[in-house]
Amino acid sequence: MKITIICVGRIKEKYLAMGIDEYRKRLGKYCTLDIIELADESTPDNASPAMEEAIKKKEGDRILKAIKGDSYCVALDIRGNMLSSEELKEELERLFTYGKSHITLVIGGSLGLSGEVLARADYRLSFSKMTFPHQLMRLILLEQLYRAFRIMKNEPYHK
């Protein structure tokens, strides 16, 4: 199985990069993992709603180009479905059972995802009603994927 994470922006904080690298290594036992970092747009502090939509559109166009046509696309969206770790494991198992061997997870930039990306998504996943920095979300996502695979394989993992 192959998992691709498409994310807007680069990781600048060393502690996040170290955590991401650790979970990338751990996940190598369970899947092929690719992380595609796309450029983010600069957003002025006083950006109008129209300007914010234009920025999300530019970032969204880059995201859509990076999504492979045959992959199952999961958009991380605050308005998406919230799952427990066990439910995430069940969702992954269901996808793999029904022939979805390539899953793409998309993390938007600081303004979120464009409507076009949300429309392309096969599923919308929320980790919380809270908003997280998109750089931190990458680490949280990798940890939850790792946890899901450990649960799937009946391997111990703290609760």
Contact assessment for residue 87 and residue 149, using Cβ atoms and an 8 Å cutoff: no
1-14: pLDDT as tens digits: 899 999 999 999 99
Q: What is the tens place of the pLDDT at every residue in 67-91?
A: 998 899 999 999 999 999 999 999 9
Predicted confidence at residue 159, as pLDDT, reads: 58
For 98-135, how does the pLDDT look when each residue is reduced to its tens digit (9 = 90+)? Answer: 989 999 999 999 999 999 999 999 999 999 998 888 88
d(CA 127, CA 141): 9
Q: Does position 158 have pLDDT exceeding 70, yes or no?
A: no
| Domain residue extents for the chain | 2-152
Chain CA centroid to CA 46, Å:
28
Architecture of the domain spanning 2-152: 3-Layer(aba) Sandwich (3.40)
